[in-house]
């Protein structure tokens, strides 16, 4: 057993020397048929050595990653796409976050001699550029070397389409069903019931309209076409309104949503539509994590760098494997077609509100999602 291995939280740290990487690349480049086949594939294909380093990238990979012919040589996948986690340890594959990475796990399987295919979510510094991939890793013996043929297909649009369809056709249709039901009751109601049913119908119609507009805005945000609309916002009144709205949702039944009474007076100039979606998602996530009887607390405080930090706290603690994947696009504990909630918190707050999203979750303190926003985005 090699007692000189460097410490790692998942896959080995050790790398091949630059000379070994060069020889491995030359072995592949010397086979025109192999190179021609790789370059003919219309998706990303990388050849990895036993240390998971790139020794060859096809034309699509170079184009997609904006690299020169030898620009990826010796790098690992996370380093090539600028994954946010590889800097946390000794490179791609060595951090605790890497234990949940589909690409790292598929590659590890191939290195043990078995082909594997998995979905993979990769976070980069800008949420709008996060990757959703389907990856295939296949062991290959070539010219005396052991390689892994790593192929990746971008499924970001498909994942987003499924999630948006689920939100639209599930949530919007539920609200529309409520409107239809209330309209039917109103048509048959006696005079004494008309005022209350009319009020409920107007409220449900407003909620349906808001949900449709929100989906339209989310699609324009996904396309990079959304333009922020700055407006003055009193934070206490804003939080009270959002908390009241979330408390009326059926998923919040039996849970209490309260605004911290100790919040200071404060106001910002921001896009209230986007901030409503951000805080609403923070509250919704907290509500769905708790059993009836739980109390979810909402508040804000002055931030050290100026501006305000808005937070939502709930008593339960997220499992560690969930914590490692929070803010990843398409990740969800709620089933297929979900997963825009926490990702949209980060996307909207950092990509449009000039803020910063973070979270903490630990025994004895529960879970807190926090978004820090500046005094003005104007």
Per-residue confidence (pLDDT) for residue 277, from 0 to 100: 85
Question: How much is the average pLDDT of 189-195?
Answer: 88
The structure tokens listed for 270 are 């921001």
Share of the chain above pLDDT 90, in %: 55
Whether 97 has a pLDDT exceeding 70, the answer reads yes
Q: Is the pLDDT of residue 105 over 60?
A: yes
Long-range contacts of 329-332 (CB under 8 A, 24+ apart): 329/121, 329/123, 329/127, 329/130, 329/132, 329/156, 329/159, 329/160, 330/121, 330/132, 330/159, 330/160, 330/163, 331/121
pLDDT, tens digit (0-9, with 9 covering 90-100), for 268-307: 999 998 898 899 889 988 998 899 999 999 999 999 878 9
Residue 20 burial (CB count, 10 A): 17
224-279 pLDDT, tens per residue? 778 889 999 999 999 999 998 888 777 788 999 999 999 988 999 999 988 988 99
Neighbours of 188 (CB within 10 A): 8
Where do the domains of the chain lie? 18-154, 156-226, 227-378
Residue 69: pLDDT band with limits 50, 70, 90? confident
Ramachandran region, residue 82 (left: φ > 0; alpha: ψ -120 to 50; beta: rest): left
Same fold, 18-154 and 227-378: no
Question: Is the pLDDT score of 143 beyond 80?
Answer: yes
Lowest mean pLDDT among 39-48, 140-149, 177-186, 346-355: 177-186
- Domain range 18-154, its CATH number among 3.30.1950.10, 3.40.50.720, 2.60.40.2250, 3.30.450.20: 3.30.450.20
Best CA proximity match to 170, nearest among 336, 347, 369: 336
The mean pLDDT of the chain is: 87
| Global pTM exceeds 0.75 | no
Give the DSSP H/E element, type plus range, for residue 63.
Answer: helix 59-65
Q: What are phi and psi of 125, to 5 degrees?
A: -60, -35
pLDDT at 208: 81
Residue 371 has pLDDT above 50, yes or no: yes
CA-atom Rg of the chain in angstroms: 25
> In the predicted model, is pLDDT for residue 19 greater than 90?
yes
Q: Is 271 helix (H, G, I), strand (E, B) or coil?
A: coil
Give the pLDDT confidence of 310-353 residue by residue, as tens digits. Answer: 999 999 999 988 888 887 766 665 544 444 568 778 888 988 89
Residue written as token pair 């609309």: 229
What CATH code is assigned to 227-378? 3.30.565.10
The three-state secondary structure class of 344 is helix
Burial of 292 (0-12, 13-18, 19+ CB in 10 A): exposed
pLDDT-based confidence at 167, cuts 50/70/90? low
Name the one residue in this structure whose structure tokens are 């990388």: 46
């Amino acid at each position: 057993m090699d007692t000189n291995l460097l410490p790692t939280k998942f896959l080995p740290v050790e790398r091949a020397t630059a000379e070994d990487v060069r020889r491995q690349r030359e072995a592949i480049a010397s086979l025109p048929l192999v190179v021609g086949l790789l370059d003919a594939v219309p998706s990303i294909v990388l050849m990895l050595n036993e240390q998971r380093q790139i020794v060859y990238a096809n034309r699509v990979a170079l184009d997609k990653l904006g690299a020169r012919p030898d620009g990826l040589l010796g790098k690992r996948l996370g380093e090539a796409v600028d994954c946010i986690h590889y800097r946390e340890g000794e490179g791609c594959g060595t951090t605790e976050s890497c234990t949940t990475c589909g690409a790292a796990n598929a590659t590890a399987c191939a290195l043990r001699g078995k082909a594997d295919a998995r979905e993979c979510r990769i976070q980069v510094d800008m949420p709008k550029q996060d990757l959703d991939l389907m990856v295939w890793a296949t062991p290959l013996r070539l010219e005396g070397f052991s390689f892994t043929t790593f192929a990746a297909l971008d499924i970001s649009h498909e994942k987003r389409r499924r999630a948006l369809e689920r939100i639209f056709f599930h949530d919007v249709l539920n609200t529309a069903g409520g409107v239809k039901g209330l309209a039917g009751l109103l048509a048959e109601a006696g005079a004494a019931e008309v005022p209350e049913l009319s009020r409920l119908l107007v409220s449900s119609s407003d909620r349906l309209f808001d949900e449709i507009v929100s989906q339209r805005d989310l699609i324009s945000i996904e396309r990079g076409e959304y333009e922020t609309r700055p407006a003055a916002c009193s934070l206490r009144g804003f939080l009270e309104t959002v908390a009241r709205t979330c408390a009326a949702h059926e998923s919040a039944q039996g849970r209490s949503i309260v605004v911290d009474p100790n919040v200071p007076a404060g106001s910002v100039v921001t896009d209230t539509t986007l901030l409503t979606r951000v805080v609403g998602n923070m509250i919704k996530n907290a509500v769905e994590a708790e059993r009836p009887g739980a109390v979810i607390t909402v508040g804000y405080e002055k931030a050290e760098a100026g501006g305000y930090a808005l937070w939502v706290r709930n008593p339960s603690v997220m499992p560690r494997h969930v914590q490692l994947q929070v803010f990843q696009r398409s990740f969800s504990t709620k089933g297929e077609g979900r997963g825009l909630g926490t990702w949209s918190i980060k996307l909207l707050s950092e990509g449009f509100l000039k803020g910063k999203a973070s979270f903490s979750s630990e025994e004895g303190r529960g879970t807190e999602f926090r978004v820090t926003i500046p005094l003005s985005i104007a």
